[in-house]
Amino acid sequence: MEREANGTADIIDGKAVAAGVIERVKGARNQLEAETGVRPGLAVVLVGEDPASRVYVRNKSLKAEECGFHSEQHSLSVETSETDLLALIQRLNADPAVHGILVQLPLPKHIDEKKVLLSVSPEKDVDGFHPINVGRLSAGARDEALMPCTPAGSIILMKHALGPNLSGLDAVVIGRSNIVGKPVVQLLLQENCTVTVAHRWTRDLPAICRRADILVAAVGQAQMVKGDWVKPGSCVIDVGINRIAAPEKGEGKTRIVGDVDFDGAVKVAGAITPVPGGVGPMTIALLMANTVTAAARLLGRPELAPIIV
């Protein structure tokens, strides 16, 4: 990690790394079907009309079809009651054609998110959000856990840039959400990094970030992390997905940016993920990998799970 800043970081191609993951997933899927006669099945549940969620859910279903899975999409109206949603999840839990269940977040306000996540069978919880899988991850029980997709994808991208051994590196994670920040912290600890977690209450965030050999931004604030927060030569993983106005593209147009000021950080970092084309495609690829893993375990053939992370 003693790289000097040379003016431009390596740009980590998340799309290309994700395509490699998908190839391995297809291989594992083919072997599983050859040996058991069963295709992995993924059910994606969307409640409401949020346009961004609709796009993501569609992308997940399309990728599942490309992988040759049985793929179901359940789109429920925004008025759907919690009881009806829980009943659908119970049906999917019991359906032998479905090995993975994903309930797109956020849910409408009248539905208790915790209750819903708890109702998904832990063995079908391809998001890794069920408390049982959260516990397995923090206890280091990888063989039984399903790993959350965005955090696992982030670790793969780091290893792509830095090599497989992250031991002893200083990692700083900005954000402590249950779906990104906290599980990233768990995975970095398992990689023997020294981990600092920053959040809204953190004092002098720029100074803390400047110590990081690995900086993970999962904040939800467009372009918050500036170039002079970045340690020269370090690896920057930008998880953020933020839509901002793009008047240069025309009136009313928007574009997607990360939580990192890319143009500033790319001049200082050693390697950096772009947005789009960084962590996002990895999230979907890991979801496909988790679906095959869940299917292999449910079919009593855990050795046929694809090895990804």
Ligand X SMILES: Nc1nc(=O)c2c([nH]1)NC[C@@H]1CN(c3ccc(C(=O)N[C@@H](CCC(=O)O)C(=O)O)cc3)C=[N+]21
Binding site for ligand NDP (CB under 6 A): 150, 174-177, 179-181, 198-202, 205, 218-221, 239-242, 279-280, 283
104 as an active site residue: the answer is yes
CA distance 41 to 63: 12
Quote the CA–CA distance of 137 and 131 in Å, as a whole number: 10
Question: Within 13 Å of residue 232, how many CA atoms lie on the same side as its CB?
Answer: 6
Identify what 80 binds: ligand X, ligand NDP, none; CB under 5 to 8 Å per kind.
none
Joined together, the tokens standing for residue 66 give: 């490309």
Phi, psi of 25, rounded to the nearest 5 degrees: -60, -45
For the annotated binding site, the residues are: 175-177, 241
CB of 301 to ligand NDP, least distance (A): 29
Q: Which residue from 101, 149, 197, 289 is in contact with ligand X, where contact means CB under 6 A?
A: 149
Instruction: State the amino acid at position 273 in one-letter form.
Output: T
The verdict on whether 182 is a catalytic residue reads no
Toward ligand NDP, which CB reaches closer, 180 or 296?
180
- Do 41 and 69 meet the contact criterion of CB atoms below 8 Å apart? yes
Helix (H, G, I), strand (E, B) or coil at 150: helix
Closest distance between ligand X and the C-beta of residue 266, in Å?
Answer: 17
User: Taking CB under 6 A as the rule, does residue 41 contact ligand X?
Assistant: no
Measured CA to CA, the distance from residue 232 to residue 84 in angstroms comes to: 52
Annotated active-site residue in 63, 124, 125, 127 = 127
Binding annotation for NADP(+): 175-177, 241
* Rounded-to-integer distance, Cα 300 and Cα 189, Å: 30
- Distance from C-alpha of 249 to C-alpha of 11, rounded to nearest angstrom: 24
Q: Which of ligand NDP, ligand X, none is residue 102 near (CB under 5 to 8 Å by kind)?
A: ligand X
Task: Say if CB 73 and CB 53 are below 8 A apart.
Answer: no
Residue 111 interacts with, from ligand X, ligand NDP, none (CB under 5-8 Å by kind):
none
- Active site (annotated) includes residue 26: no
Instruction: Mark 161-181 as b/e (b = at least 16 C-beta within 10 Å).
Output: bbeeebeebbbbbbbbeebbb
We find the least distance from the C-beta atom of residue 280 to ligand NDP, in angstroms, to be: 4
Contact map string, positions 246 to 285, toward ligand X, x by CB under 6 A: ----------x------------------xxx--xx-xx-
Sign of the dihedral through C-alpha 198, 179, 134, 149: negative
Q: Provide the edge-to-edge strand list for the sheet that holds 41-47.
A: 70-76, 41-47, 100-103
Among residues 60, 63, 124, 182, which one is catalytic? 60
| Nearest approach, Cβ of residue 275 and ligand X (Å) | 6
Choice from 19, 78, 97, 105 touching ligand X (CB under 6 A): 105
- Under the binding rule (CB under 6 A), the answer on residue 61 touching ligand X is no
Task: Identify the active-site residue in 63, 104, 238, 259.
Answer: 104
- Which residue minimizes CB distance to ligand X? 280
All residues at 6 or more sequence positions from 51 whose CB lies less than 8 Å from its CB, including other chains: none
Residue 242: name its binding partner from ligand X, ligand NDP, none (Cβ under 5 to 8 Å by kind): ligand NDP
**Binding ligand X by CB under 6 A: which of 25, 64, 89, 241?**
241
Minimum distance from residue 299 beta carbon to ligand X (Å): 24
At what angle are helices 279-298 and 149-162 packed, to 10 degrees? 120
Residues marked active site are found at: 60, 104, 127
- Footprint of ligand X on this chain (CB under 6 A)? 56, 59, 102-105, 127, 149, 241, 256, 275-277, 280-281, 283-284
